Amino acid sequence: MRSVLVHREQLPPRGAPRGIVIALHAEGGDGSELLAPCAAAAPGWVVLAPQAARSRNAIAGGGSAWPGYAGYAWYRHDGAAIDPLSLADAMRQLALFVDDARRRHGAALPVVIASAIPGLPLAQPLARLLGHAVDGIAPIARGGDAELRSVVDRIERALAQRGARHEARALAD
């Protein structure tokens, strides 16, 4: 089965990608807001930015007249508790997306999930669900990419020193 998530993609300027960054936007965002900071933090890696499937305002589609309803959300919540069914659906869609990304760009490439969602409530369980398919997770802000850069550097150092993908995974945790 294939992912149906709309996404933006930024390929490395030259050569084959050295890894894959999956950039998850925060609630109210969209699939494009993290392309530039992730590409800056992971030069030489392909950056894939899926857009959540749930519009925050499915009727009007958001807009400047209703800023609280603009953008997209990965799951429903009431401000405190996350709806488990919508979270499970988001996890399933993202698992398919990561699988498609690995199939398209290279199954042996390291994968890092960069998340703008505070507390990483989607990135951490997704990484656990996918197990060996994910090499690291990192929080990222629109203007701050230091932690993602650190994770990418550790993975690339481990790959260069040992030449084994599974060893890089342990260093990125």
pLDDT at 99: 96
Calpha distance 166→163 (Å, rounded): 9
Q: What's the Cα-to-Cα distance from 43 to each of 55, 80, 144, rounded to whole Å?
A: 31, 36, 15
Q: Does residue 159 sit in helix, strand or coil?
A: helix
Specify the pLDDT at position 76: 83
pLDDT value of position 31: 79
E strands, 42-154, are 46-50, 54-55, 72-73, 111-115, 136-139
* Pairing outcome for strands 7-10 and 46-50: antiparallel
Distance of CA 70 to CAs 2, 29, 32, 163, Å?
27, 8, 14, 44
The percentage of the chain sitting over the pLDDT mark of 70, rounded to a whole number, equals 83
Residue 158 near residue 150, CB atoms below 8 Å: no
Q: What is the pLDDT of residues 76-94, one digit of tens each?
A: 877 778 888 988 999 999 9
Look at domain 7-172 and name its CATH class. alpha beta
123 vs 161: CA distance, rounded Å: 27
Q: pLDDT tens across 56-82, in order?
A: 765 544 455 555 667 888 888 777 788
Q: Is the pLDDT of residue 144 over 50?
A: yes
pLDDT per residue as tens digits for the range 12-68: 988 899 999 999 998 888 878 889 999 999 999 999 999 998 887 655 444 555 556
pLDDT at 14 (0 to 100): 87
- Which tokens is 165 given? 């993908």
- Give the global pTM: 0.84
